[in-house]
Amino acid sequence: MTASALNPATDGKTAAVIIRKVGIIGAGQMGNGIAHVAAQAGYRVAISDLKAENFDKAIDTITRNMTRQVNKGLMKDVDMRASLDRIEFAPGYENFADCDLVIEAAVEEEAVKRRIFQELCPKLKKGTIVASNTSSISITRLAAVTDRPEKFIGIHFMNPVPVMQLVELIRGIATDDATFAETRRFVETLGKSIAVSEDFPAFIVNRILLPMINEAVYTLYEGVGTVDSIDKAMKLGANHPMGPLELADFIGLDTCLSIMQVLHLGLSDSKYRPCPLLVKYVEAGWLGRKTKRGFYDYRGDKPVPTR
């Protein structure tokens, strides 16, 4: 179903925003995944990134992933070409002037996100909905730096976006009903399922998942088990599809640390204290798959545990 088929009518009280074009800030793993599913659902998409070459890499990734869908019979080649034609590069935020929704998918650092929103909002039309794909940071706090807190919302996609079915929706204290309703409709047109979370640190998924990963790092740090034994124990003993240390590498150890710091600071509970070993890996620049080293070394033909 395309975007145009699902445009809502007004409710008689508040003019509903009709989303036709989506802006995305950040062409990385999350940004290109969001662009993929939005373009596939029929939306026009503009991607902004600090470097034009990152957009080119994003298009290559989207093309590769869509080709995989075509080969599996999940998508027609003609639909893939049409989807790719709907994606364009936005050199600056002024290129978002005609967007109805802009989703920030930048690094998980509050200062960076706040700066983005302060620079972005003056370039947008009055009715544009602004969203953050943050996995842990307060939506209310981010909304407060904008000129439209009532039209600000959290849309937390799971990674990898084209594969994972869940999206968390998070209302800030000022988010109005029309914004929430239209955002919900938008996510549903992408074929995703929705979990609505209150605006507390790390929301639902990461509030549960990241402390488990952090505890796995503590288990390694304290010598209870090796990388291999910890991941094997959880895969075969708890039927997890991926071990917690392998999953940490996939997420990015810097992101894991950022989320644990948000939990620790936001909830003031020692049980959320980031493991010192996790801090050390991040300090070393061993961030997981994206840097070729984390709890596993990915530089060879086969991942090898680093401890």
What is d(CA 29, CA 62) in angstroms, rounded to the nearest whole number? 10
Residue 156 designated active-site: yes
* Tokens 């009903």, residue located: 177
CA 241 to the chain's CA centroid:
20
Catalytic residue (choose from 54, 133, 135, 214): 135
Residue 168 designated active-site: yes
Strands 296-297 and 304-305: antiparallel
- Determine contact, residues 139/175, Cβ cutoff 8 Å: yes
Nearest-Å Rg of the Cα atoms of the chain is 20
By three-state DSSP, how is residue 210 classified? helix
Burial class (CB in 10 A: 0-12, 13-18, 19+), 50: exposed
Q: Which amino acid is at 216?
A: A
Phi, psi of 14 (to 5 degrees): -125, 130
DSSP 8-state code for residue 231? H
What is d(CA 199, CA 210) in angstroms, rounded to the nearest whole number? 17
Catalytic residue (choose from 32, 54, 65, 206): 206
Residue 135 designated active-site: yes
DSSP 8-state code for residue 284? T
- Determine contact, residues 219/248, Cβ cutoff 8 Å: no
What is d(CA 238, CA 245) in angstroms, rounded to the nearest whole number? 14
What are the angstrom distances between the C-alpha of 14 and each of 17, 178, 194? 9, 7, 23
What are the angstrom distances between the C-alpha of 152 and each of 91, 122, 131, 169, 202? 23, 14, 6, 11, 17
Residue 4 designated active-site: no
Active site residue ranges: 135, 156, 168, 206
